Amino acid sequence: MNDKQEEEFFTQYLQGTSRLSEIYQNTDTPEPSDKINQHIIAEARKAAARKKAINSSWLAKPGSWAATIAIVSLVGLLTLNTWQKEQDELQRPLRETLAPQAPLAEEESGSPVESRFEIKEKKDSRKLIFKSAPAPVLQKAQKKSLSGRVGSGLSTEDIETVKTLADQPLPASSENYSDLSQEPGKLEDAFSSEQQQLLKIKQLLENKQLEEARQLLTQFRKKYPHYPIDPVILRHLSP
């Protein structure tokens, strides 16, 4: 066979008209068994059923995905918010502890520092007043005596009234007190004497010995004309 014949035969073969093709087409064509065919078809049906199940599930729906993302985001934000609040609660006591030690911190420690200075000024001014007059010592003594009398039958209203009177500044020109202020021992004796007299008046009132109480009050007023008297006593003994 020369090359020309070969080329002609190959051209025939490509056109499908060669004897070679004819013989080959007559050969038996092996086929897959029915078992294999059934197996493959069954697998195809199973795969299709799985696809349908997946497509019909909520995961395959865009709306479901959007809702899921929204819920997860919301839960995440809430969790973060709660966590931040907890952190703030945990750090607050620490800040409150540290704040007085950091006066240069403007936002947190500004106003407390000012108020502390104000208080200091007031205290200083009171000291000045105390030095010029003995009244504050008297006030202190009176407060003590009054607070000690809470359980002695006075009403809360009466106590408040007495406190108000006690807070009022006493005249600095009082001779008695200015004299007493120069001698602390005498001052204490005087206070105890005045208190004792007032207590006695009070006891007489409680015992309903009004005349005696009134006489004692008159004497007390003559002796201590500027000494504040319990309004309860005044109310009961005033003419």
Partner 1 sequence: MANSVSDEQLIQWYHKGNTEAFEQLYSRYKNAIYHYFYRQVASKGIADELHQDVWLNIIKSSSSFTGQSSFKTWLYKIAHNKLVDHYRRESKQPLYLIQGSLQDSEPESERESANVPDSDPGTLLQEQQLSLALLDGISSLPEEQKEVFLLHEKSGLTLQEIATITDNSFESTKSRLRYAVKKLRQYMAQHLAVEL
Q: Is 94 in the site for partner 1 (CB under 8 A)?
A: no
Q: Map the footprint of partner 1 across residues 55-84, applying CB under 8 A.
A: 55
Ranges of H-type helices in 16-105: 19-26, 34-56, 62-98
Shortest gap between Cβ of 57 and partner 1 (angstroms)?
A: 14
Q: Is 130 in the site for partner 1 (CB under 8 A)?
A: no
Site string for partner 1, 19-58 (x = CB under 8 A): xxx-xxxxxxxxxxx--xx-xxx-xxx-xx--xx--x---
Question: Cα(195)–Cα(11) distance, rounded to whole angstroms?
Answer: 145
Question: Cα(171)–Cα(9) distance, rounded to whole angstroms?
Answer: 146
State the DSSP H helix or E strand holding residue 100, giving kind and residue range, or none if neither. Answer: none
Segment interacting with partner 1 (CB under 8 A) among 6-14, 117-125, 170-178, 192-200? 6-14
Contact present, 220 and 201 (Cβ < 8 Å): yes
Residue 158's nearest CA partner among 230, 59, 223, 75 is 230
Shortest gap between Cβ of 44 and partner 1 (angstroms)?
A: 4
Structure tokens at 152: 């002695």
Shortest gap between Cβ of 55 and partner 1 (angstroms)?
A: 8
Residues within the interface to partner 1 (CB under 8 A): 1, 6, 9-10, 13, 18-21, 23-33, 36-37, 39-41, 43-45, 47-48, 51-52, 55
